[in-house]
């Protein structure tokens, strides 16, 4: 009955979802491309297929090292990467070119999932983190396609929600073949909501296994040289409500370090224009990366290209990770930490609770409440190169100390193929 009601509701909502997609495509035209994928009408694939689903950019980046390892093993299978967002697919294409196949994931209607599975016929489904879609998982189970949750996390709040509807959620939860959990508390919650104990394993977070490709390192070094000796700080993956605070912090930093440069990279491409206009409206000299213009005299550099955040982190002296000065839950602090630079975030980091705790335990990250606190902390490190270096080394040490989850995950996937 639950499955019937759920499927009915999502079918009824589908026309409105498609209209919303079209509307959003006004500012992000890529959303309108391959829209038929959302209905399961994807290009047909032949031979064994490993389906890797990552919702958006963050999950796609986290999946990158795993996909590279799977490709290196020459498993004789096509890897299909899917995402729900245009930015997620753009990130995947940036990382892998023509080495893997791509598609938007279908909306979770029975027909959409059925058409998708008929065309792809995957051998396994690997879902990054915790995306539990009832029709997707149910139909994979019926076709004997194992479903793996990789880098899985489950908050106490979410676990209680599943427990309240245990009777209807249990058949879906029990269909999950393997959960590679980030931490023991996540594993315990998955067991509580009905995943068989033998199907849950604590592997750690694969996000600690940050993989910086050689071409990204080379591009980062080259770009840094073009910036000269000026101090550079970056605000990555920013959201509405944060940019004003970050620009206010940068104004305070410029008062003490007149040649400082802020690189600001909004999380969503549709905000590139508005952030540029905001910075210009507040009197900053702004250069957009997409123009290729000279940075001479620039105070704010807008990262308005896709798939280059990792490279821009490497060209910076310090990093602020966005989505954290507002109640968004934060983004991955390990990307800048892997470059060995100091990392700052706001206090709203519940999406990466375990990762932030490990960084905090070893003083590899500093949480700030507002723009004033951020500006003071950044200026303090800009004034003390030795302290800046030591801070970055602590952040990198946390990354290196917690590596190893990726090996466990790749072994677990290949053993279960």
Give pLDDT tens digits for 144-169: 999 999 999 888 888 998 888 887 78
DSSP code for 43:
P
Catalytic pick among 59, 129, 308, 335: 59
The answer to whether the beta carbons of residues 253 and 379 sit under 8 Å apart is: yes
In the predicted model, what is the mean pLDDT of residues 195-210? 92
The pLDDT tens digits of the residues spanning 67-93 come to 999 999 988 999 999 999 888 998 899
Cα Rg, the chain, nearest whole Å = 22
Q: How many helices (H) and strands (E) does the chain have?
A: 17, 14
How many Cβ atoms from other residues are within 10 Å of residue 334's Cβ? 28
For the chain, give the mean pLDDT: 93
What pLDDT score does 232 carry?
98
What pLDDT score does 1 carry?
65
Do you know the residue count of the chain?
Answer: 417
The answer to whether the beta carbons of residues 349 and 356 sit under 8 Å apart is: yes
- Angle at the Cα of 108 (from 105 to 111), degrees rounded to 5? 100
Establish whether 59 is a catalytic residue: yes
């Amino acid at each position: 009955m639950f499955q019937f009601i759920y499927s009915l509701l999502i079918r009824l909502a589908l026309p409105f979802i498609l209209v919303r997609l079209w509307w959003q495509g006004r500012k992000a035209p890529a959303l309108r491309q391959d829209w038929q994928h959302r209905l399961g009408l994807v290009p047909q694939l032949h031979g064994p297929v490993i389906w890797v689903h990552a919702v958006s950019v963050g999950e796609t980046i986290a999946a990158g090292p795993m996909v590279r390892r799977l490709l290196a093993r020459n498993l004789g299978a096509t890897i299909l990467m899917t995402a729900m967002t245009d930015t997620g697919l753009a990130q995947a294409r940036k990382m892998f070119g023509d080495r893997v196949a791509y598609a938007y994931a279908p909306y979770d209607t029975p027909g959409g999932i059925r058409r998708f599975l008929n065309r792809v016929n995957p051998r396994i489904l690997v879902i990054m983190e915790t995306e539990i879609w009832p029709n997707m998982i149910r139909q994979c189970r019926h076709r004997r396609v194992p479903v793996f949750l990789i880098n899985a996390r489950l908050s106490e709040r979410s676990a209680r929600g599943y427990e309240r509807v245990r009777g209807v959620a249990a058949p879906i939860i029990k269909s999950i073949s393997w959960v590679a959990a980030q931490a023991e508390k996540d594993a315990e919650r998955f067991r509580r909501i009905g995943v068989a104990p033998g199907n849950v394993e604590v592997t750690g977070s694969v996000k600690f296994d940050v993989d910086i490709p050689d071409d990204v390192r080379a591009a980062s070094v080259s770009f840094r040289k073009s910036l000269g000796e000026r101090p550079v700080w970056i605000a990555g993956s920013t959201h509405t409500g944060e940019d004003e605070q970050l620009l206010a912090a940068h104004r305070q930093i410029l008062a003490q370090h007149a040649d400082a440069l802020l690189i600001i990279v909004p999380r969503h491409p549709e905000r590139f224009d508005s952030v540029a206009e905001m910075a210009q409206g507040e009197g900053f000299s702004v250069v957009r990366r997409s123009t290729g213009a000279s940075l001479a005299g620039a105070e704010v550099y807008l990262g308005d290209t896709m798939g280059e955040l990792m490279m821009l982190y490497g060209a910076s002296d310090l990093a602020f990770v966005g989505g954290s000065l507002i109640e968004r839950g934060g983004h991955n602090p390990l990307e800048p930490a892997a470059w060995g630079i100091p990392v700052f975030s706001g206090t709203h980091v519940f999406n990466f609770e375990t990762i932030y705790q490990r960084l905090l335990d070893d003083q590899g990250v500093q949480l700030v409440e507002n723009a004033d606190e951020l500006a003071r902390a950044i200026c303090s490190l800009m004034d003390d190169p030795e302290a800046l270096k030591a801070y970055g080394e602590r952040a990198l040490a946390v990354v290196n100390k917690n590596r190893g989850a990726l090996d466990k995950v790749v072994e677990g996937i290949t053993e279960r193929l």
